Structure 1
Amino acid sequence: MSPSVRRRPLAAALLASTTCLGLLTACGGSADTGTGSSGSSGSQASAGGGSFPVALTNAWGRTEVKEKPVRVATVSDGDTAIALALGLVPVITPDVEDGDLVAEYKQRAITKLGEKRLRTYDDTDGTDYEAIAAEEPDVILGVNTWDMDTDYAKLSPIAPVVTFADKKQSDTLTWQERLRTAAKALGLTEKADAVIAANEKTLKDAAAAHPEFEGKTYTYSVVHPEQITYMSYADQDPGVFEQLGLVKHPRSKDYSANKNGVSLENLDELESDVLLMTYPFGDEGLLSASELETNKLFRSLDVVKGKHFAVVPSENTLASAIAYPDALSAPWVVENLTPILAKAVAGR
């Protein structure tokens, strides 16, 4: 799936996800983060564990973090999630959620760290360099943004910028790789490993608690303005559904990132043991939830008649959190998704 980049409005985020839906693992394989130190390879490991200075090679040059950072600024929602997951309250973040609509799992983390809300800047016109500079950050996290090509030259004079080693990695790094890259610069590698292990345990425990999920085929589809999109295509990376025990339907091999539209005449393509839909565009989608769910062909599907069909809500950010996983979201996604799956598998 696409990385947890600056979180745009949900509809726009899920529109972008037609080409890359990473669920809880993100698309793309492991990649060299380009993180190193000014010393030998042995000192690179110790630097990542908390020794400074730390030098990081990125797509625009080389950044040196001379001392353990205390004041951290972020330029995307995913970077904010990284800071919070590592136990840091950013000194400033983009107001990607229009002030009041804060994802529940993020608010939980903010509250746990003793804050009510984060200090933000208006990112309507992009990154506010002056607002970031005014907070005098020790480091700026930018490992989850698509705007670094524009931002780097203006951010680097303010503070060391932690970002990816190759421009292509803006789309390909997993949230785990991004977390580890940031953690090396912050001297919090052990904390990052603990966060990753805790998220993995959450998923394993949930799968163990629901053995009925094991081996059930699923189809996940999003109603976009121009089409119904077959999101669970064959070469899509395994994500939260599969980590919980489900498997893609054999028909998924007929779909790909570039061939993922399902016409109203071919709604039987959605047939599976479990069918999951989401409607992030509401009335601006190709058709509304009521229009699809009263469609005669849709109602004739075995999965629908057997009540193995469920809607993944978008209004509470669950669909977005599935599409754009980050270092904070896994426990909350599991908490909210497993009851939906349990009802669908049981036919309730």
Structure 2
Amino acid sequence: MSLSVRRRPLTAALLASTTCLGLLTACGFSSETGTDTGSKASAGGGSFPVALTNAWGRTEVKEKPVRVATVSDGDTAIALALGLVPVITPDVEDGDPVAEYKQRAIAKLGEKKLKTYDDTDGTDYEAIAAEEPDVILGVNTWDMDTDYAKLSPIAPVVTFADKKQSDTLTWQERLKTAAKALGLTEKADAVIAANEKTLKDAAAAHPEFKGKTYTYSVVHPEQITYMSYADQDPGVFEQLGLVKHPRSKDYSANKNGVSLENLDELESDVLLMTYPFGDEGLLSASELETNKLFRSLNVVKNKHFAVVPSENTLASAIAYPDALSAPWVVENLTPILAKAVAGK
């Protein structure tokens, strides 16, 4: 599957850690979103104007936006989660089918497909300008350093308060930032609460998950990557009750390769693998799963091993959770985990 930069390449996605950024210290400034606390905006009531300080300057949204443009797949997910159909979005599918959870949201909003621009060569500023957006969402992009100067004359740009936040904000923080500018803070809170309830309900329905150690690994072209390292933020696996294996302390974002001679490092109560690169990976699924050392692992012999599919975007949705994908991830991941825990 071909993924553009704006969709976040799967290689990077599956190596990245989405973490909360520490508090910024500035007088009269909300560190989470970069919103001026002295603004006339009311977060709950959605009153305007709303002033937002960002890494490149200051954005003022004078009236409640109606026409919203997006510059990344993550920003499109935010708009859809908040009940808005973007007037234009980047074409991140590159000919592939639209992710199921995204298509569901589009259909729920009464549309069949979104209007897109070709982002092969970057953000198409002219295409965005032609749609006359009231606001441009860019809270989930790596390209704002290049884009901001060309987007800001078109419409107010909603983005992060610090350049580091392109990698570090949680999906909840990105959603809240966008919602503040759109006058939809209460809607964002409802979306977050609904997602939390989905996870809690799934965990409650599967008490057998609680306390089981897990290892999650990705077969990249250059290595087998130990993704569930100790400093990796708790994700959906742990929200469903699993815990990292004690061995995870031996791995980090910068030390995460597992050699074929040390496949026993993958041992745990539950082993989850994904193969997003197919034949271009270090080795194929059949090559790994017929490897003698791999087959000798207790977790494999006892059938507590499962593959997280990448073809349906589940692996990438786990790597980069957002408000739109979270319920779908739980829906699709839970039965995989149930079978692995049960040894089926």
Could you say which TM-score interval applies, normalised by the shorter chain? over 0.9
RCO (CA 8 Å, sep 6+): is it higher in 1 or 2? 1
Using the alignment, how far apart are the partners of 1:213 and 1:29 within structure 2?
Answer: 41
With over 3 angstroms needed to count, the CA separation of the structure-2 counterparts of 1:159 and 1:243, relative to structure 1, is same
1:29 shift after superposition: 17
1:33 shift after superposition: 1.5
Counterpart selection for 1:296 from 292, 297, 310: 292
1:99 shift after superposition: 4.3
Secondary structure of the residue aligned to 1:221 is: strand
Using the alignment, how far apart are the partners of 1:22 and 1:3 within structure 2?
Answer: 30
Query: Is 2:39 the counterpart of 1:43?
Result: yes
Residues 48-98 of structure 1 deviation map (CA, whole Å, 9 limit, x = unaligned): 531000010000000100000000000000000000000000000000112
1:156 shift after superposition: 0.1
Show the 5 A alignment for 1:150-169: 150-169=146-165
Residues 127-155 of structure 1 deviation map (CA, whole Å, 9 limit, x = unaligned): 00000000000000000000000000000
Whether contact under 8 Å (1:21, 1:27) holds in the other structure is: no
Whether contact under 8 Å (1:75, 1:142) holds in the other structure is: yes
Using the alignment, how far apart are the partners of 1:290 and 1:12 within structure 2?
Answer: 24
Using the alignment, how far apart are the partners of 1:272 and 1:235 within structure 2?
Answer: 18
Counterpart selection for 1:341 from 323, 337, 342: 337
Q: With structure 1 as the length reference, what TM-score do the two structures score?
A: 0.92
Using the alignment, how far apart are the partners of 2:19 and 2:152 within structure 1?
Answer: 31
1:5 shift after superposition: 8.3
Residues 224-271 of structure 1 deviation map (CA, whole Å, 9 limit, x = unaligned): 011000000001100000000000000000000000000000000000
With over 3 angstroms needed to count, the CA separation of the structure-2 counterparts of 1:174 and 1:252, relative to structure 1, is same
With over 3 angstroms needed to count, the CA separation of the structure-2 counterparts of 1:215 and 1:223, relative to structure 1, is same
With over 3 angstroms needed to count, the CA separation of the structure-2 counterparts of 1:204 and 1:21, relative to structure 1, is farther
Secondary structure of the residue aligned to 1:11 is: helix
Using the alignment, how far apart are the partners of 2:38 and 2:23 within structure 1?
Answer: 34
1:41 shift after superposition: 3.9
With over 3 angstroms needed to count, the CA separation of the structure-2 counterparts of 1:80 and 1:19, relative to structure 1, is closer
With over 3 angstroms needed to count, the CA separation of the structure-2 counterparts of 1:154 and 1:141, relative to structure 1, is same
Residues 270-318 of structure 1 deviation map (CA, whole Å, 9 limit, x = unaligned): 0000000000000100000000000000000000000000000000000
1:32 shift after superposition: 2.5
Whether contact under 8 Å (1:223, 1:285) holds in the other structure is: yes
Whether contact under 8 Å (1:4, 1:175) holds in the other structure is: no
Give 5+ residue unaligned stretches, structure 1.
none
Whether contact under 8 Å (2:16, 2:319) holds in the other structure is: no
Whether contact under 8 Å (1:21, 1:236) holds in the other structure is: no
- Sequence identity of aligned pairs in percent? 95
With over 3 angstroms needed to count, the CA separation of the structure-2 counterparts of 1:27 and 1:99, relative to structure 1, is farther
Correspondence for 2:249 = 253
With over 3 angstroms needed to count, the CA separation of the structure-2 counterparts of 1:87 and 1:23, relative to structure 1, is farther
Whether contact under 8 Å (2:276, 2:310) holds in the other structure is: yes
Counterpart selection for 1:328 from 317, 324, 327: 324
Residues 149-187 of structure 1 deviation map (CA, whole Å, 9 limit, x = unaligned): 000000000000000000011011000000000000000
Q: CA RMSD in A?
A: 4.3
With over 3 angstroms needed to count, the CA separation of the structure-2 counterparts of 1:6 and 1:160, relative to structure 1, is same
1:4 shift after superposition: 13
1:16 shift after superposition: 5.5
Give 5+ residue unaligned stretches, structure 2.
none
Secondary structure of the residue aligned to 2:5 is: coil
With over 3 angstroms needed to count, the CA separation of the structure-2 counterparts of 1:78 and 1:113, relative to structure 1, is same
Aligned length: 344
Using the alignment, how far apart are the partners of 1:63 and 1:191 within structure 2?
Answer: 22
1:338 shift after superposition: 0.3
Whether contact under 8 Å (1:218, 1:274) holds in the other structure is: yes
Whether contact under 8 Å (1:219, 1:274) holds in the other structure is: yes
With over 3 angstroms needed to count, the CA separation of the structure-2 counterparts of 1:200 and 1:27, relative to structure 1, is farther
Correspondence for 1:23 = 23
Query: Is 2:100 the counterpart of 1:101?
Result: no
With over 3 angstroms needed to count, the CA separation of the structure-2 counterparts of 1:256 and 1:28, relative to structure 1, is farther
Whether contact under 8 Å (2:139, 2:160) holds in the other structure is: yes
